[in-house]
Structure 1
Amino acid sequence: MTHEQRTGPVRPPTPPHPDRPPTAAHDSLAELSARCAAWLGAERDRIEGELRAAYGKPPGTAVKEQHPAPDSVPPAAVPLIELLDRLAGLAGDPPAADGPVLDRVRRGVVAALTASGVTPVEDTGPVDPARHHVVATRDDPSGLLSDRIAETVRPGYLWRDVLLRPQEVVSYVPYVGPRPPRAEAERGRRDAR
């Protein structure tokens, strides 16, 4: 006779509850779902509060919707934004004679986006995580430009007050100085003993 035949089928362990120790009683799926949703909501609020404190936003400031309903955005916006990205990638490749042509096409695409209510975001100044996506960093030896935009890699786009795509930026970070190679650091520790 096997262990399973003597004791019955093996049940999976009960998941632990963050607010109380595990018990033998099983909660219903609805209760577990409600607790998880409450915990996720509290975590979101905590993280949002930390970000607001770090970037100087008052706690009552409303956060704008990051992803609008798909039917509300002009249908031509996404293909036009993709075309602008492709044109930006071609800017250095064509012969000099094509430069004015590409610039004219780019201005036409931007005008079409603007007519549909979409505006480019090319901010300067402090990095705002709600509007900017940091893709790289650059040292700031002066210490005066930390957490500010050094350059724009790709512009972002707004439709009305809704962010369609965040601006991709390079951000300044505090300069920490050169670090000694690992072998020199090890030698320095041995000499200090």
Structure 2
Amino acid sequence: MATTGKSAESGTAAADAAGTGAEPRPQDAPVSAAGQDRIRELEAKAAECEDRWRRAMADADNTRKRHVAELRAERAAERARVAAAFLPVIDNLELALAHAEADPTAVVQGVLAIRDQAVQLLTGLGYERDDESGVPFDPARHEVVAVVDEPGTEPNTVTRVVRPGYGTGGGQLRPTAVTVAQPRR
């Protein structure tokens, strides 16, 4: 009879579950003391992992903010270094202007010296002056402002530099503005 009672109880629980449409869930089952300890241990580990994750995210955010601030400071320092390098050029221009009423030849020579000083400064920064004519046209270095008919000149040859360029390749401040010999027809 005991067997029948258990079957009846099992059948009743199954019928109750079937009647409500709900199945018995694992979290409804009783958990042993060892199981409870394991659950607490895993919950503690999960909380520790979440805490470590939050700290790592905060550290990453702080590192990003610090990097942005350092980059901003370095850019400002570099701008200041370049601007400071141009101060002697400005000083020399002011000296030339102060003596403008004097000998015009001396003023012209002074202005040429100042231009050379500025070109040297750009060269020191890695932007060499490009003002060469008689070379083949190179679209990476040159900007055509006019095509001219130059008898005796190879087609696509730079015939005149209108405005010098500075720099080369990807480090170019501006291309050299040139006139180019017309292709033969």
TM above 0.5, yes or no, is no
**Hey, which of these two has a bigger chunk of helix by percent?**
2
TM-score, length of structure 1 as denominator length: 0.39
Larger Rg: 2
